[in-house]
Amino acid sequence: MELTRNRGGKISTGRKRVTEVQETLATQGEWVAHVRRIRDAQDQSAFAELFRHFAPRVKAFLIRSGSDAAMAEECAQEVMATLWHKAHLFDPARASVATWVFTIARNKRIDYLRKQRRPEPEDLYWGPEAEPEQADVISLQQETEQLRSALKVLPKAQRELIEKAYFGDLSHREIAAETGLPLGTIKSRIRLALDRLRHAMK
C-alpha cells in the first residue's frame, strides 16, 4: 500500500487518510454513545463534546453552501439544539451521527431559504462523505492496524517525528522549533521512517 504525505500533512493510504479512517472507525461508536447519553440522561458533558466537534463543521458546511457567517452561526446553534432536544429520534441503524447532524443542517438551511423566499439551491453541497461499504470498513480497519503495528516497531526517534509530522500536523520547521533538532536531522529521520513504513505496508 502506497504511503504519501498529502496537503493536510497526514499519511494517506491512497483511499483515505489514515487519521480519517481512524476517526471514522473509532469515533462513530463514541458519538452514538454520546447521543444515547443525551437521550437517556440529558448528559451535558456528552453534548458539550458533540457541540465542540460538530458545531464548527456545520458552520463551515453552511458557509460553503452559500450562507453568510451570521446565518451559518445561527443555524449551527439550531442544529445542535435540535440534537439535544431530539436525541430520541436518532437511529444508528439508519445513519451515523455525522450523517444525521448534517441532514438536520441541510434541512435547517432549506427552511431558512424558504422563510427568506429565496430560490432553493438545486445542488446543495453535501457535508459528510457517504457511509463506506462494510467490506471497505473491514479493509480499512486491517490497514489501520497494520500501520499501527508498523509504527510501533520504528525506532523511538523516528516514530516520534512521524507522529509529530503526520498526526500532529506539524511542519518540519515547527518540529525543529519544538525539539531543538537540526532541520536536516528531522528530514533524514522522517525519510528513513517512511521507507520503513512503506516496506512494512507492502
Give residue limits of the domains in the chain.
Answer: 20-115, 133-201
Sign of CA dihedral 137, 142, 144, 145: positive
Instruction: Give the range among 21-30, 143-152, 184-193 with minimum mean pLDDT.
Output: 21-30
Pick among 1.10.10.10, 2.40.170.20, 3.40.50.300, 3.40.50.920: CATH of 133-201: 1.10.10.10
Instruction: Name the burial class of residue 141, with classes exposed (0-12), middle (13-18) and buried (19+) by CB atoms within 10 angstroms of its CB.
Output: middle
Task: Judge whether residue 30 has pLDDT over 60.
Answer: yes
Task: Check: CB of residue 33 under 8 Å from CB of residue 92.
Answer: no
Percent of the chain residues topping a pLDDT of 90: 12
pLDDT number for residue 16: 44
What is the arithmetic mean of pLDDT over 28-34?
82
Confidence band, pLDDT 50/70/90 cuts, at residue 26: very low
Set of cell numbers at residue 68: 453568510
What is the residue-averaged pLDDT of the chain? 75
Q: Which CATH architecture has domain 20-115?
A: Orthogonal Bundle (1.10)
Report the pLDDT value the prediction gives residue 2, as an integer from 0 to 100: 43
Domains 20-115 and 133-201 share a fold: no
In this predicted structure, the answer to whether residue 22 has a pLDDT above a threshold of 50 is no
Per-residue pLDDT of 93-136, as tens digits, reads: 887 888 889 888 888 888 877 776 655 444 444 445 445 555 65
Question: Is the whole-model pTM more than 0.85?
Answer: no
Lowest mean pLDDT among 45-59, 134-148, 156-170: 134-148
pLDDT the model gives residue 99: 85
* Residue 74 CB partners (closer than 8 Å, separation 6+): none
Q: Which residues pair with 4 in a beta bridge?
A: 12
